[in-house]
Structure 1
Amino acid sequence: MRLDLTTLFLMTVAVTFTAGVLFLLSWSQTRRERSLAVWGIAHLVGSLASLMLALRDQIPDSLSIGLANALMIGAYGLIWSGVRAFEGRRLRLGWALAGGTVWLVACLIPPFYGSLVARVVLASTLAGLYCASGGLMIWRGRGEPLVSRYPALVLLASYAVLYWIRVPLAFALPLPASVAIASPWFAILCFTGTLYSVAIAFVFMALTKERAEREQRLAAETDALTGIANRRALVAGAERHLAVAPAALLLFDLDRFKAINDRYGHSVGDAVLAAFCTIAAPLLPPEAVFGRMGGEEFACLLPRLDERAAARVGERVRAAVAGFDHPDYPDLAMRVSVGVAAESQIGGSLDYLLRRADDALYRAKHAGRDRVVTAGDDPLLRAEAEPDAVALSTVHTVRSVTR
């Protein structure tokens, strides 16, 4: 059975046009995701290019060869630009349209326009560059964990390879003198273009959906005031770590916080809470689970640390907080008491750790505040050393937080 190539082209036009409309409809519901609009326009441009290619021998060659291929290359450039927008970069529409412009200029040169090999090489090189650059952009953004990121990378990279394979094939295989739609090259281009339109629409829409869901999830797990994990996320993260490894828990409580609110107002009090988090977070190990329990109380789970090692971490935080000062409020003193408890067994109870750390915190408050107390020791733990250089540097960088 032999497929009619004109029908294949028209199918490509319909599929690409539909994908473009779907992108634009999705963008109309999520206006801040500009990439959807750019990808939608790219697919509409691609559908117009496919239509002009399908009308070969029915419209002037200047349109079916010159303009149609320029639009197709420009569509790939817009897809690349949409990827840039998705990754939070500038669109750079000039570069997106540069490939089509290069094609049009080249078509004004008679030797190039008359050589099918030259046209195949240039069009394939430009389209492949846009696809490869888009794939590279997706790879560089892998710090944002999205499941569809890697299928998108494979899709763009494989399509770039398919285009670039056409370059040596154009020299190695005989090409027809006239590029009519009866050529199998057009059948391959048409079929792969249809598959690409469907796949790119599916994967890119999945990317934007996953990002929206991730942002909603992060918002639900983040304390709006301080930007760290809220109680729900803290408990969930701590329980995950306790299920696979022993851990220690630090329980922080800002000393005399009510007095700060009463004297300076709640806006300064809120800034103090944010400043504490800005000071503490850089001093905690990378794997620490740090969050706000509520009010002026914070907790931090330290995987694989014993009570003594956790107490040293707590003391670094306490010392850094004690060194905080603000030029606009010279009398404002920020101090923190810390309770420490540890669980040496895998699968420990977070509630048990919280009760023991809370008891240690109570003893720290009762003993005069601004100190670290461990659950395993009745004596107070108070480091004699000054805050280390990291803590002091952190203090200076945070002085502007409460402005």
Structure 2
Amino acid sequence: MPRPSEMIFGMDQTLHLPTLMVVHALITLISTVVTIYMWLRYRGSRVLPLLVAAGVAGCVAMLLHASRETLPLTLSSGVGLCLGILAVGLFWQAVVAFEGGRVSIPKASAGALFWMLLWFTPPLQHSVEARTATLGLFVAGYCFLTARETLARAKHEPLPSRTVAAVANMLRGFLWLAAVPLSIFVAPPYAADGATAHWFAYIALANSMLIVLSLVSLLIVAKERDEWRYRLASERDPLTNLANRRTFVTEANEILRQTEGGASLLLFDIDHFKTVNDTYGHAAGDQVLLAFSRAIDQRMPKGWLFARIGGEEFACLMPRMSAQQAIAVAENLRLAIADMVMPGVETLRVTVSIGICEAPEQGAGLDTLLASADDALYRAKADGRNCVRLYEPTALLSEAGQALVVADPIARRGLARMGRRIA
């Protein structure tokens, strides 16, 4: 029957901590070499040099601490664990750089500096439990900071692997927090004869796995970010960040297919936009487009689809909206644009013409709606601009009839037949 001390520090334990540390150091070395190769290819990266520094620090830390039985304690645990804390801090700052934040080497080094200052105090010199608790608190703190940084931009950059990266760092943080009560209430990590507690060997193994998972998940987040940005570039207008024509057509057709109760389509055209470019310059024209898109977009409730579909032409599809309701909305938007003041160009006044088409509950194709709204927009332009017009086939037919040669009886009869069919 094994003695209690053998159950905790058993010499025949399956997990040999120094071997685990050497293996982990070799894995870290391989990943660091790969990171160095990537850094040589992408010299402008702010993330890769920090990952390289973290990898080198972590690799040296593992090798030093694995040699605890042969090296002086100050070198194996004092310097070794100091470098381990520095590695976690540098990894945190690598994530900060990856998320576009400002890198702070002093913040990354603060934990290691405090460790070295505390190392020369009596508690850390004479108590392995105190060293384990201090190490656990420093490493856990950096892990939680890394997880928080990973989740901070989840709303603006919703990437699936962000959750995996954050969970990996949080689990690592909880793992090192658990080392604090385990070392105090169960057994110290190391016995007087140098044997290792079973729980500490398992924590070291789990920590190694979570470090690898953290690095791999960061690489996956980077890959997903590139894919996400490429997709956005193909779906969004680069100036206004609104949906572009391609996205509008795809999503509008889906809305029309699924929505019951019809819809209304607004087609906007900024008045005299060419004159704005010619008079004030293209920079002012871009400013007008940005101000216009923001003024309209911030008034768009959830469920409406607003997009830039041409140079100065915008469209908005409003599900379950009648023609009369759409007219009221369009008038409010028109007045909002007319009251808009362009900063720095006080003499510039922007107006918009709006064409409206109501879609029936079924059978409305987007191409037909766009063509009808464009006809209404043409009428708004012809009526002096800065106004709203609803697509009315009879009104358009009347205008077309006035353009015909009224003396032609065949044209008059054809026009009359068209009017009866529409009515």
Equivalent positions of 1:69-148 (< 5 A) are 69-143=81-155, 144-148=157-161
1:275 aligns with 2:311: no
Letter in 2 for 1:151: V
TM-score by length of 2: 0.80
Separation (CA, whole Å) in 2 of partners of 1:314 and 1:333: 18
Identity of aligned residues (%): 37
CA separation of 1:227/1:265 partners in 2, compared to 1, >3 Å: closer, same or farther? same
Q: Specify the alignment match of 2:167 in structure 1.
A: 154
With 301-310 and 73-82 compared, the bigger mean Cα shift is at 301-310
Q: Specify the alignment match of 2:237 in structure 1.
A: 223
Cα shift readout 1:191-244 (whole Å, capped 9, x = no counterpart): 223212321121001111211222222223333344433222222332343343
The CA deviation at 1:133 is 1.8
CA separation of 1:29/1:235 partners in 2, compared to 1, >3 Å: closer, same or farther? farther
3-state secondary structure, aligned to 1:299 = strand
Separation (CA, whole Å) in 2 of partners of 1:161 and 1:291: 46
Q: Specify the alignment match of 2:356 in structure 1.
A: 340
Q: Specify the alignment match of 1:173 in structure 2.
A: 186
Gaps in structure 1 of 5+ consecutive residues? 381-403
Q: Specify the alignment match of 1:293 in structure 2.
A: 309
With 177-186 and 141-150 compared, the bigger mean Cα shift is at 177-186
Equivalent positions of 1:376-391 (< 5 A) are none
Q: Specify the alignment match of 2:409 in structure 1.
A: none
Would you say how many aligned residue pairs link Structure 1 and Structure 2? Answer: 380
Letter in 2 for 1:107: W
Cα shift readout 1:226-285 (whole Å, capped 9, x = no counterpart): 443322222233234334325432101122333444444545444433332233222322
Separation (CA, whole Å) in 2 of partners of 1:123 and 1:319: 63
The CA deviation at 1:118 is 0.8
Gaps in structure 2 of 5+ consecutive residues? 1-12, 397-423
Maintained 8 Å contact 1:16/1:197: no
Cα shift readout 1:43-93 (whole Å, capped 9, x = no counterpart): 221111111111122221111111111111111111222222223222222
The CA deviation at 1:334 is 2.5
3-state secondary structure, aligned to 1:294 = coil
Maintained 8 Å contact 2:169/2:210: no
Letter in 2 for 1:299: A
CA separation of 1:324/1:37 partners in 2, compared to 1, >3 Å: closer, same or farther? same
Separation (CA, whole Å) in 1 of partners of 2:37 and 2:362: 50
The CA deviation at 1:366 is 2.6
Which one has the largest radius of gyration? 2
CA separation of 1:181/1:279 partners in 2, compared to 1, >3 Å: closer, same or farther? same
With 171-180 and 64-73 compared, the bigger mean Cα shift is at 171-180
Q: Specify the alignment match of 1:387 in structure 2.
A: none
TM-score by length of 1: 0.84
Separation (CA, whole Å) in 2 of partners of 1:102 and 1:39: 22
Q: Specify the alignment match of 1:399 in structure 2.
A: none
Partner residue of 2:379 out of 363, 380, 389: 363
CA separation of 1:317/1:74 partners in 2, compared to 1, >3 Å: closer, same or farther? same
RMSD over aligned CA atoms reads: 2.8
Letter in 1 for 2:186: L
Partner residue of 1:2 out of 11, 14, 17: 14
Separation (CA, whole Å) in 2 of partners of 1:99 and 1:251: 59
Maintained 8 Å contact 1:306/1:344: no
Maintained 8 Å contact 2:88/2:143: yes
Q: Specify the alignment match of 1:392 in structure 2.
A: none
Q: Specify the alignment match of 1:51 in structure 2.
A: 63
